[in-house]
Structure 1
Amino acid sequence: MVDQKATNVHWHDGEVTRAQRHALLGQKGATIWFTGLSGSGKSTVAVALEKALHQQGRLVYRLDGDNVRLGINKNLGFSAEDRAENIRRIGEIAKLFVDAGVIVLSSFVSPYRADRDQVRALHADGGMDFVEVFVDVPLAEAEKRDPKGLYKKARAGLIKQFTGIDDPYEAPQAPELVLPSHQMTLEQEVDALLALLRARGILPA
């Protein structure tokens, strides 16, 4: 956990509750956290789910690894410390969206189990839904896809501390859903996600 540096600061509640915001939108906010190797298909399935939810009239917003690093996290690199801070900030952002009643789709490699568990705990402490989705493909498959050419650069020594090559990926121990994207169609993945969201009461049955 990150220590609180600023002093004399206190949370200020307003007069509009989370339940009232959810009622206004006709939906319940939640974070759907996609984790997996680079090239596993996290962003692809998140984009498809975002479209499906939007078509159902749901307010949904997607947080994606590169997009966030081009903005609020542009000052962070890929050391273990910076990776942890990257995920911590994203967790805090996701929590704000959920409090507003938005369904958040967060797709990040997020290789370290402790960092993901911290985001889960952050949501639990706030009484918010957190759904961890492990987009699980073998390293060989992810490396074969290599949509950004990152594995090739990592193998050539041009990228250091690359997850799966010279930095570890710690797979989730008890995710809410596992999607072996090399064995499923994109439509099957989206259907599995929608079924899970309905089963958890995030979407109406």
Structure 2
Amino acid sequence: MTLVFVAIAALVMLSLIFGAILGFANVRFKVDGNPVVDQIDQLLPQTQCGQCSYPGCRPYAEAIAEGGESINKCPPGGESTIQAIADLLGVEPEPLDAEHGEEKESKMVAVIREDECIGCTKCIQACPVDAILGAAKQMHTVIEDECTGCDLCLDPCPVDCIDMLPVDQGIQAWRPPLPADSSNNIIATDRGQAA
């Protein structure tokens, strides 16, 4: 009987020792996520729009890193993002999957026509980055610097008072205004003089 107690005590002691060793190894050699997922996530545009069929950029990056998803499902990122992810992973770039949307030529931002807004808050609930300010029964407005141009606020709006407009890119995008159409038009000749 004493031999049985000694054997049980020895097993308990061994399990405690091995448990302590495994606990130490778990803390000492812990890996904080997959660094490739972090790198892919940094390349994605962070619109959180869901056009790739994932609820945000991070889950899409995780699916790409696991090898279960193609790299061409992000319309806001476009061809440049596809190329950057392909370079990171060492794979061939693929053309943008048209099923998920089209790449926009310039960055777009939502603009609410405030005089038509009824304050329903449906656009606020749909915005994945909290770029819309407002309250129930009050007009809403968009924080332009926060808006990612994902278009998710358009469909829920019951009065269709939201427009997607291209973002002004500053002085580089400025073009002189065209002259007004009138009978006093000034027409430039080949030498740059007015006719």
TM-score bucket of the superposed structures, by smaller chain: under 0.3
Q: TM-score, normalised by structure 1?
A: 0.24
| Higher relative contact order, chain-length normalized (CA < 8 Å, sep 6+) | 1
Q: TM-score, normalised by structure 2?
A: 0.25
The structure where strand makes up a greater share of residues is 1
The structure where helix makes up a greater share of residues is 1
Larger radius of gyration: 2
